[in-house]
């Protein structure tokens, strides 16, 4: 019984996560189509709802090509790392308060560790290995450049990311994610207390997930496919899935840190039974996360890509000083207000 609850939680979370990721691909294609005044995929199933399944089947049935020049072992390893890292980051995110089911209080979080934020930063920085290794192991110039660019980019933005979280930690006085969510009750969402931190964190998240306008590593006009030029079949699919998983996870992290997590302001005043409050909170979390995912998607189809020097300049010369400054201002405000 002790072990059963986490197993159930993991299966539910992974199931939902992968389902959401699969359909996010579809959503992205439909949104892109809408923005570009097209129709988008609508033939497989009702309104194209079975499209993700068809995509996966298509990818599975493709030939798995590993170039002769490539380092076979690392070439196989890289997509696996990318995918696995993207999935396990979700383990510490609280998607709800505790809920009472069958007379047992269950915490709606897979693992409530006391260093939650460090865990998330550690895992997101591990993600760079998948991309760098894939770029190097393919032994192709496009892949190598993509891998190099992405590692430099992720390193640069990780600093801004780490620094902008510190403001949140100072306010909450804890690295534990559920504590951080609990401090954001009422209107005290961190987006209002830490607006600069929020902006830098979101921008850094875009860069960390290699999403537009920071998708230099796979800039298709310059680098063909970037680090996954030499991948085919489901291994290519894994990179694709990992990117979307990272997007969802990043949205969840942003929600937790800045948008009050599962909090619904003043829901206690409504006088609902505790069970339904918990359900509503989980729903609120999902809605917040998905709105952010939509934001990610809309940005991709409306904003042009950065040039590489612009990207590095933004990271080192704007984001880094800005987040340090934000830190000092936060400190002063906490001390004197």
Partner 1 sequence: MLEQYIPIGFMFIVAIIFGIVMSKLSEWLGPKNPNDVKLSTYESGMEPVLSARERVSVKYYMVAMLFILFDIEVVFLYPWAVNFRSLGLFGFVEMLVFTVVLMLGYIYLLKKGALKWQ
Residues 309-328 that bind partner 1 (CB under 8 A): 309, 312-313, 316-317, 320-321, 324, 327-328
- Is 101 exposed, middle or buried, given 0-12, 13-18 or 19+ CB atoms closer than 10 A? exposed
> What minimum distance in Å lies between the beta carbon of 201 and partner 1?
13
Q: CA separation (Å) from 119 to 5, 111, 197, 311, 323? A: 22, 11, 19, 26, 21
β-partners of residue 99 are 106
> What minimum distance in Å lies between the beta carbon of 25 and partner 1?
15
79 lines the binding site for partner 1 (CB under 8 A): yes
Tell which one of 14, 16, 33, 280 touches partner 1 (CB under 8 A).
Answer: 14
Residue nearer to partner 1 on the CB measure, 30 or 95: 95
Q: Which residue's structure tokens are 């995929």?
A: 41
Q: Which residue's structure tokens are 């998983």?
A: 245
Tell which one of 26, 152, 277, 292 touches partner 1 (CB under 8 A).
Answer: 152
β-partners of residue 105 are 100
Torsion of the alpha carbons at 82, 83, 87 and 88, rounded to the nearest 10: -50
Return d(Cα 114, Cα 119) in angstroms, integer: 9
Q: What's the DSSP call for residue 299?
A: H
Residue nearer to partner 1 on the CB measure, 208 or 297: 208
Tell which one of 51, 124, 140, 250 touches partner 1 (CB under 8 A).
Answer: 140
Residue nearer to partner 1 on the CB measure, 92 or 254: 92
Tell which one of 20, 32, 50, 112 touches partner 1 (CB under 8 A).
Answer: 112
Q: Which stretch binds partner 1 (CB under 8 A): 34-42, 46-54, 162-170, 265-273?
A: 162-170
Number of residues that bind partner 1 (CB under 8 A): 84
């Amino acid at each position: 019984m002790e072990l059963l609850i986490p197993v159930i939680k993991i299966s539910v979370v992974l199931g939902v996560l992968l389902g959401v990721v699969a359909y996010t691909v579809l959503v992205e294609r439909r949104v892109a189509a809408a923005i570009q005044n097209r129709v988008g995929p609508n033939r497989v199933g009702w309104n194209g709802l079975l499209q993700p399944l068809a995509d996966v089947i298509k990818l599975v049935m493709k030939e798995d090509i590993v170039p002769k020049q490539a380092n076979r072992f690392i070439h196989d390893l890289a997509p696996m790392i990318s995918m696995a890292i993207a999935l396990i980051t979700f383990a510490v995110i609280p998607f709800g308060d505790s809920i009472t089911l069958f007379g047992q209080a269950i915490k709606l979080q897979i693992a409530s560790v006391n260093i939650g934020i460090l865990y998330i930063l550690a895992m997101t920085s591990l993600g760079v290995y998948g991309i760098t290794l894939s770029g190097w192991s393919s032994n192709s110039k496009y892949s190598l450049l993509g891998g190099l660019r992405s590692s430099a980019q992720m390193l640069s933005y990780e600093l801004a990311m780490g620094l902008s979280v510190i403001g949140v930690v100072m306010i909450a006085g804890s690295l534990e994610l559920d504590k951080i969510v609990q401090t954001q009750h009422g209107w005290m969402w961190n987006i209002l207390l830490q607006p600069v931190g929020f902006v830098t964190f979101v921008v850094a998240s875009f860069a960390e997930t290699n999403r537009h306008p920071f998708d230099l590593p796979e800039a298709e006009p310059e680098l063909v496919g970037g680090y996954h030029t030499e991948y085919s079949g489901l291994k290519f699919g894994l990179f694709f899935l990992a990117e979307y998983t990272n997007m969802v996870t990043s949205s969840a992290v942003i929600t937790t840190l800045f948008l009050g997590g599962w909090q619904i302001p003043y829901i206690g005043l409504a006088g609902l039974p505790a069970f339904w409050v918990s359900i509503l909170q989980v729903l609120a979390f999902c809605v917040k996360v998905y709105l952010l995912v939509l934001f990610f998607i809309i940005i991709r189809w409306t904003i042009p890509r950065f040039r590489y020097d612009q990207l590095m300049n933004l990271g080192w010369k704007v984001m880094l000083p800005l987040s340090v400054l934000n830190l000092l201002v936060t400190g002063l405000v906490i001390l004197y207000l």
